[in-house]
Amino acid sequence: MTENDPSAQDPAAPRHPETGQQAAQGGWAGSPYGDQAATPESGGTPQYSVPEPTYHAVTGADPSYATPNPNPWSAQGTASGQTQQSVYPPPNPNPYAQPGTSAYGATPAPPTPPKRSGGKLLAGVALVALLVGGIAGGTVGYLTGGTSGGPAGNALDAPKPAQQTGNAPAGSVEAVAQKLSPSVVELQVSGQQGAGEGSGFVISTDGYILTNNHVVEVAANGGQIQAVFQDGKKAAAKVIGRDPTTDIAVVKVDGVGNLTPVEIGRSDDLRVGQSVVAIGSPFELAGTVTSGIVSSLHRPVRAGGGQGSQETVMDAVQTDAAINPGNSGGPLANMSGQVIGINSAIYSPQSASGGQGQGGSESGNVGIGFAIPIDQARRTADTIIKTGQAVQTYIGAQVTDAPQGGAKLGAITPGSPAEKAGLKSGDIVTKIDDRNIDASDTLVAAIRTRAPEEKATFTLSDGRTVEVTLGGQPVPAN
């Protein structure tokens, strides 16, 4: 034997404890490549030697031949002792691994992972499967929906839902509409000066209907009025009385009985922001229902008859419920279905007058409508029905705007309530009771909301207060 003879053995070389075999030159028998192990540099093909198995004195396995399981959760690595580990290490899956890896035998094998519960492992895997499956299922469903070849769903094939049979919820717009609609009528009017239409509402079972003066004035002298009810019935009507100064009129239908009158509420306790419902016939669309809120109170508005004069100033309830030409004379109601106003005017910046107006093809809703307070309308309607003539509340003085604010009194009518109270031309009224007066229209509106013979305290700009007993005078029929 020579030094280079591969079969030469070194007497001092260690021998196998059982077989007595010496390790092959160039590597231990435990090396997966033996003495012909290929390295990254040589590029050779590794040749495997098969050493005799050696067992640990305690565990029965020789750790020098063990290779750490690359997957500690695989069947081979679930627990040491369950499956006996092979003494024949597998070939290095990466022959070009860096030095220090298990392929070179320089890194000791890591300890075997502790025993895990198979049940917990399965549960964890099942959870992941559910989560992933849910996401994947949704994605696949989205991508393949409608292409699976199954029957397509169609809403037209679904059965109709159950028919609504219950009553409308109390306090809803629907409930107000159900309550009031049978009492609201469309008024079709014609006369020598033209034709038009508006709305009104029944206030008695025998046919009295409350509406606006400007709705029926064209038929006041020889014209015709036809009332159209919710159920389509029609009846002729005639004017009983009207008041241009408050834009209120009463008509009565003939040959119709057992009508449903509205429930009249009150307007003196209205609050800004509370909900209201308007019903009428805008643009001849009978039975139209809109809703909104009370936007403001005690708004002085010139309306009625297109005159735009101080004679038609009303102390209006402002609302944003949609009101259009044809709504005039219809009810404005609270959410209990009680009438609290008569729709009378809208603010229409595109109208010819550039101010408040109702009627005319250019007028349209801009969210600012005005209604006559029902307290004032009720008093006037009652007087008309009982006497056939309206009575106007007055003080007997001309009035204009004061430059510094307030209402400046002009000529005083002799024997009038103003003269009897001691008011003089040139006095400036700044308050009536607790209501501030900032302009002449505000003074007129405040007086007309009150009844004749009612007392009111006027505060003047110089600080004086004067108590005035308001007067009443018949409105000429024309």
Q: How far from 206 is each of 202, 210, 218, 347, CA to CA, in Å? A: 9, 13, 24, 35
Give CA–CA dist 47/35, Å, rounded.
9
| Residue 328 designated active-site | yes
Identify the three-state secondary structure at position 475: coil
Tokens of 378: 């009720």
Type and span of the H or E element at 377: helix 374-387
CA angle 307, 311, 313 (to 5 degrees): 90
Determine the length of the chain.
Answer: 478
Strands 338-347 and 263-264: parallel
Give the model confidence (pLDDT) of 45-75 as tens digits: 444 444 444 444 444 444 444 444 444 443 4
Other beta carbons within 10 angstroms of residue 20's beta carbon come to 7
* 298 is an active site residue: no
* Catalytic-residue membership of 315: no
The whole-model pTM stands at 0.65
- Please say whether the beta carbons of 331 and 342 come within 8 A: yes
Catalytic position from the list 102, 183, 328, 363:
328
DSSP 8-state assignment for residue 262: P
Rounded distance, CA 251 to CA 211, Å?
8
CA neighbours closer than 13 Å in the CB half-sphere of residue 115: 6
Compute mean pLDDT per 10 residues along the chain, 478 residues long, and list them.
46 53 46 40 42 46 46 40 46 49 45 49 39 41 51 89 85 96 96 91 96 93 92 94 92 90 96 97 92 96 64 91 93 98 86 42 77 96 94 94 96 97 97 96 94 96 97 82
Helix (H, G, I), strand (E, B) or coil at 340: strand
342, containing H or E segment: strand 338-347
What pLDDT is attached to residue 150?
72
Check 102, 199, 243, 247 and give the catalytic one: 247
Q: Which two tokens stand for residue 437?
A: 């007066």
Number of Cβ within 10 Å of residue 445's Cβ equals 23
